Amino acid sequence: MKTSVIGTGHVGLVTGACFAERGHRVLCVDVDRAKIAKLRRGQPTIYEPGLEDLVRRNVKSGRLTFGTSNAEAVAFGRVVFICVPTPPRPDGTADLSFMEAVSRDIAKSLKEYRLVVDKSTVPVHTGERVRQVITKYAPRGADFDVASNPEFLREGAAVQDTLHPDRIVFGAESRRAEMILRELYEPFKAPILCTDIKSAELIKHASNSFLALKISFANALAALCDLAGADVQMVTRGMGMDKRIGPAFLHAGIGYGGSCFPKDVAAFEAISRELGYEFRLLREVQRINEEARDLFLKKVERELWIVKGKKIAAFGLSFKPDTDDVRESVALKVVKALLERGAEVRAYDPQGMERAKEEIPGLRTARSPYEAARGADCALLLTEWKEFRDLDLAKLKKAMAHPTVIDGRDLFDPEKMKEAGFVYRSVGRP
Ligand code: NAD
């Protein structure tokens, strides 16, 4: 099926490439011309395992093409996906101006029937707004449907998640829209849940908020374990063995970050309030998340006493492993806080250093974790890349001035670190 994607970022590019891989003809457009020029050469603009091959293969086969105009997208695809940003405003509400702008562009180019599908994460009622905007700006009698198709991919596993999803959720309010989406997703062979548009919109906010809640629950437990002298990994493992709870997302650390959880939890709280419900639980989820980072910084201070002038190696900058995305990265926030306190930080991340330098101009980086650790008073594990799990501990110890590791992701085994001669601190473990 001819399909267009407006907004060729993390979601749009992966979605477009995966639809092409599953046999559809896809046009991905973006306002960022430099991005499109790169993609036309078959070079992905973000790091995601498997993406480069997928883009190259589908560009070569002609199933995946790129463009720079939204009018072109409307002319091309019977289905038009909107995958533009919905960033947070200072009060936590979602900034829907990109959604509105794209809806107007679509309206102005409507000539024959189009199914307009929102894939961006939006507050409930956005679908109605999109429909109103298109009706207002489109030629009279224009034929279109609006649907919501929330995206659940995880950065770092985006291609895998999109090709083999747990479930496809869409909100469609006409038989025609539902049948088109069923046909489009048929090659993915995944369970489909078709709902009304509002419920689909809520499913996305509710899912991300629930996952964030699980992380904050683990972090609250970690704080308690630190006080009680218990081991949070044992506690969460014991909990996770209960099928009703499950082990996923119960990992204590320095908190969740990224371009989704922080903004989605805040936006969900904000829309709930706007509708008349005070979702206080979500406020607490956010507070615990910030507390996790502060408690980690306190641990660093407890270990170093005076942070100013200390040499600190930071392992990890991306908001999670297997991505170069540093948006709202807690690792980056920790590095920033330490720099503000006068520490000399040298960082290493397998993929995130370039983007991190855009956020922290002048950030000192290294070509390897060992180089980052050279002469350091302390090393901080901030993102749980596999490369760090496999570190040569003897080599690391030799590189450091003082072999102290503070592990913000509970990646290392405390026994092994002790045996290797490190002063080792982690989160919620004795
Ligand atoms: P992104 O910033 O990586 O990409 C968005 C793209 O939209 C950019 O390339 C931008 O240039 C383009 N764009 C902006 N305005 C445009 C316009 N008027 N016309 C055409 N293109 C335009 O963002 P993302 O991470 O892909 O997120 C997009 C949406 O998907 C957000 O609502 C986000 O919450 C949601 N989402 C993201 C993820 C994720 O893991 N990143 C997962 C699920 C859902």
Question: What pLDDT digit, counting tens, does each position of 383-405 carry?
Answer: 999 999 999 999 999 999 999 99
Neighbour order of strands in the sheet with 378-381: 364-365, 344-348, 311-315, 378-381, 404-407, 423-425
- pLDDT tens figures, 241-263: 999 999 999 999 999 999 999 99
Query: What are the pLDDT digits (tens) for 189-216?
Result: 999 999 999 999 999 999 999 999 999 9
CA 140 to chain centre: 39
Same domain membership, residue 327 and residue 216: yes
* Minimum-distance ligand 1 atom for the alpha carbon of 105: 18
Same domain, 295 and 232: yes
Q: pTM, whole model, 2 decimals?
A: 0.95
Would you say the CB of residue 67 lies under 6 angstroms from ligand 1? no
| In 316-354, beta strands by DSSP E | 344-348
Q: 177 and 266, same structural domain?
A: no
Both 103 and 224 in one domain: the answer is: no
Give 194: exposed, middle or buried? Use CB within 10 Å, 0-12, 13-18, 19+: middle
With the most atoms of ligand 1 within 8 angstroms of its CB, the residue from 4, 8, 10 to mutate is 10
Query: 179 and 168 share a domain?
Result: yes
Range of the domain at 77: 2-195
Cross-strand partners of 1: none
Looking at every residue in the chain, the average pLDDT score rounds to 97
Average pLDDT, integer, range 72-80: 98
The residue from 83, 225, 260, 378 that is catalytic is 260
> What per-residue confidence (pLDDT) applies to 191?
98
Say if residue 60 is in the same domain as residue 30: yes
Nearest CA to ligand 1 atom 18: 102
d(CA 348, CA 196): 46
| 3-state secondary structure (DSSP) of residue 320 | coil
Q: Answer yes or no: do 352 and 207 share one domain.
A: yes
The whole-angstrom separation of Cα 312 and Cα 314 is: 6
Q: End of a domain among 172, 195, 218?
A: 195
Shared-domain flag, residues 171 and 244: no
Give the pair of three-digit tokens for residue 421. 């001669």
List the CATH number of the domain containing 56.
3.40.50.720
How much is the pLDDT for 41? 87
Q: Report the nearest atom of ligand 1 relative to the CA of 259.
A: 41
pLDDT at 44: 85
By residue count, the chain amounts to 430
CB 217 within 8 A of CB 245: no
- 88 DSSP 8-state letter: B
Q: Give the per-residue pLDDT at 43.
A: 86
Residue 72 CB less than 6 A away from ligand 1: no
Number of domains comprising the chain: 2
Mean pLDDT over residues 310-328, rounded?
96
With tokens 């590791």, the residue in question is: 405
pLDDT digits (tens, 9 = 90+) for 140-193: 999 999 999 999 999 999 999 999 999 999 999 999 999 999 999 999 999 999
Q: Is the CB of 70 under 6 A from ligand 1?
A: yes
182 & 284 share domain: no
| Sheet order of strands, 144-148 included | 64-67, 25-29, 2-6, 79-82, 114-118, 144-148, 168-172, 192-195
Residues 210 and 71 in one domain: no
Last-in-domain residue among 133, 167, 195: 195
Ligand 1 atom at minimum distance from 102 CA: 18
Residue 175's pLDDT is what?
A: 97
Known catalytic residue at 225: no
- Tens of pLDDT, residue by residue over 276-305, are 999 999 999 999 999 999 999 999 999 999
The conformation of residue 148, written as its DSSP 8-state character, comes to: E
Statement: residue 11 has pLDDT above 90: yes
Q: Is 223 exposed, middle or buried (0-12, 13-18, 19+ CB in 10 A)?
A: middle
- Does one domain contain both 294 and 160? no
* 187 CB near ligand 1 (under 6 Å): no
Residue with token string 């960033």: 87
Instruction: Please indicate whether residue 87, judged by its CB atom, sits closer than 6 Å to ligand 1.
Output: no
CA-nearest residue, atom 28 of ligand 1:
85
Residues 269 and 407 in one domain: yes
CA-based nearest residue to 294, from 347, 248, 340, 330? 330
85 lines ligand 1 (CB under 6 A): yes
Point out the domain boundary residue: 177, 195, 213.
195
Rounded to the nearest angstrom, the distance between the alpha carbon of 82 and the centre of ligand 1 is 9
State the DSSP H helix or E strand holding residue 315, giving kind and residue range, or none if neither. Answer: strand 311-315
Q: How far is CA 289 from the centre of its chain?
A: 16
Neighbours of 375 (CB within 10 A): 12
Structure tokens at 86: 């919905």
Residue 98 CB less than 6 A away from ligand 1:
yes
Beta bridge partners of 40: none
Closest CA to 137 of 67, 71, 66: 71
14-60: pLDDT as tens digits: 999 999 999 999 999 999 999 999 999 888 899 899 999 999 999 99
Query: For ligand 1, atom 34, which residue shows the shortest CA distance?
Result: 121
